[in-house]
């Protein structure tokens, strides 16, 4: 029989019961040693955050200074639109214009630009979707990677931009014909730079990437949650998809700017990706944030880009050019 300690516990050692009070220092030392070794052991087993993704706490940090920076960047964007000879027409201005025939010189010039940059845009969209999936921790499992790869295959299959008078200031895709982007002639004429055209084409390619299967819905929801947390805006349902498509468009245009150094001011080129949202009539609907709220949400999601918009100088310092490899549902971009 073992001898009980004053606390009522019996400790066995080599078949002989010892009072707990005599073994307490020994047990305490073991416990302290185990606690000291536990973090090391856990650190060896813990999965490293994949693909360089940031921790949740770091990723969600958004300070009052960030909010002020975002508002300044919005002002800079719309100021650049006023002074840029190749700026985009604002959406509300496009809506007020009469329809343009397919053969109008401005529509023809816009179509040629869209066809010229489409191969580059496909490449930029596929890389952007992969990077966003990694950033939002949606690329780690075989199922997630398969979903993203299927989305990329749909992007790579798109080959045509079709002008359409009735689409006016919209671009859209028919998911039952996922190899064509339909582009309103007013929109073709209103986007007067490669940066702006890439942004809008990338938006539509992202709709095609998600497809009838809604392959990118988990990514859309994750992006919307972060944007809503940072801005207080209500972003759900189709709004989440539209905002995410805009984010891919802005990110693709930014990468294009990095790959094509220019003597033009960096803020001017960056502004072209979103300045068609610099409207006076800032209306929203069930499927879209208002244009100016869209800019706010995009800059809140990418504070780094907002900061770049407030810099001086040109894009020559960024990077040298890289070699370019170069459904019944209808989805529209307002």
Question: Quick check: 329 pLDDT over 80?
Answer: no
pLDDT the model gives residue 314 = 59
Predicted confidence at residue 313, as pLDDT, reads 58
Calpha distance 255→250 (Å, rounded): 9
Tell whether the model's pLDDT for residue 143 goes beyond 60: yes
- Distance from the Cα of residue 122 to its chain's centroid: 16
Lowest mean pLDDT among 48-52, 79-83, 85-89, 249-253: 48-52
Q: What confidence score (pLDDT) does residue 139 get? A: 95
Here the tokens at position 90 are 């604002």
Give per-residue pLDDT as tens, 189-205. Answer: 999 999 999 999 999 99
- Across residues 43-55, what is the average pLDDT? 34
Q: How confident is the model at residue 308 (pLDDT cuts 50, 70, 90)?
A: very high
Q: pLDDT tier at 174 (50, 70, 90 boundaries)?
A: confident
pLDDT at 15 over 80: no
d(CA 306, CA 315): 15
Contacts of 278 (CB under 8 A, 6+ apart): 77, 78, 81, 90, 291, 292, 295
Does the pLDDT of residue 10 top 70, yes or no? no
Question: For the chain, what is the mean pLDDT?
Answer: 82
Dump pLDDT digits (tens) for 262-287. 999 999 999 999 999 999 999 999 99
Is the pLDDT at 65 greater than 90? The verdict is: yes
Residue range(s) in the chain whose domain bears CATH number 3.40.390? 57-333
pLDDT at 55 > cutoff 80: no
At 23 the pLDDT is 47
- Mean pLDDT over residues 14-21, rounded? 40
Reading the block at residue 135, the tokens are 């950033």
Instruction: Decide: 188 and 111 in contact? Cβ < 8 Å.
Output: yes
**Rounded to two decimals, what is the model's pTM?**
0.77
Out of 31-40, 59-68, 94-103, pick the least confident.
Answer: 31-40
Angle between helices 105-135 and 194-210 (to 10 degrees): 60
pLDDT tens column, 99-122: 999 999 999 999 999 999 999 999
Q: What is the pLDDT of residue 169?
A: 92
Say if domain 57-333 classifies as CATH 1.10.8.
no
- The two tokens of residue 25 are 């220092």
Q: How far apart are CA 159 and CA 177, in angstroms?
A: 11
Say what percent of the chain tops pLDDT 90. 71
Kind plus residue range of the DSSP H or E element containing 248: helix 238-259
């Amino acid at each position: 029989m073992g001898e009980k300690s004053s606390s009522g516990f019996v400790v066995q050692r080599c078949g002989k019961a010892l009072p707990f009070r005599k073994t307490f220092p020994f047990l305490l030392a073991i416990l302290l040693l185990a606690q000291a070794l536990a973090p090391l052991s856990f650190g060896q087993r813990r999965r490293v955050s994949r693909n360089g993704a940031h921790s949740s706490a770091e990723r969600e940090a958004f300070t009052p200074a960030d909010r002020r920076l975002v508002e300044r960047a919005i002002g800079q964007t719309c100021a650049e639109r006023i002074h840029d000879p190749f700026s985009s027409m604002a959406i509300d201005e496009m809506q007020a214009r009469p329809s343009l025939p397919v053969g109008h010189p401005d529509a023809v010039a816009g179509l040629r630009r869209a066809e010229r940059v489409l191969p580059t845009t496909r490449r930029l969209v596929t890389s952007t979707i992969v990077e966003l999936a990694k950033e939002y921790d949606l690329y780690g499992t075989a199922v997630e990677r398969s979903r993203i790869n299927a989305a990329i295959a749909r992007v790579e299959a798109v080959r045509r931009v079709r002008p359409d008078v009735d689409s006016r200031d919209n671009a859209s895709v028919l998911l039952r014909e996922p190899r064509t982007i339909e582009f309103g002639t007013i929109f073709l004429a209103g986007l007067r730079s490669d940066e702006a055209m890439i942004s809008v084409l990338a938006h539509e390619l992202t709709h095609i990437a998600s497809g009838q299967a809604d392959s990118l819905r988990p990514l859309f929801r994750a992006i919307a949650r972060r944007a809503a947390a940072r801005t207080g805006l209500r972003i759900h349902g189709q709004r989440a998809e539209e905002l995410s498509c805009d984010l891919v468009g802005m990110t693709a245009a930014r990468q294009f700017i990095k790959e094509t150094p220019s003597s033009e001011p960096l803020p001017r080129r960056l502004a072209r990706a979103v300045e068609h949202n610099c409207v006076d009539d800032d209306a929203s609907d069930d499927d879209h944030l208002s244009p100016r709220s869209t800019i706010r949400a995009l800059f809140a999601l990418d504070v780094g880009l907002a900061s770049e918009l407030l810099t001086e100088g040109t894009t020559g310092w960024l990077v040298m050019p890289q070699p370019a490899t170069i459904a019944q549902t209808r989805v529209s971009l307002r």
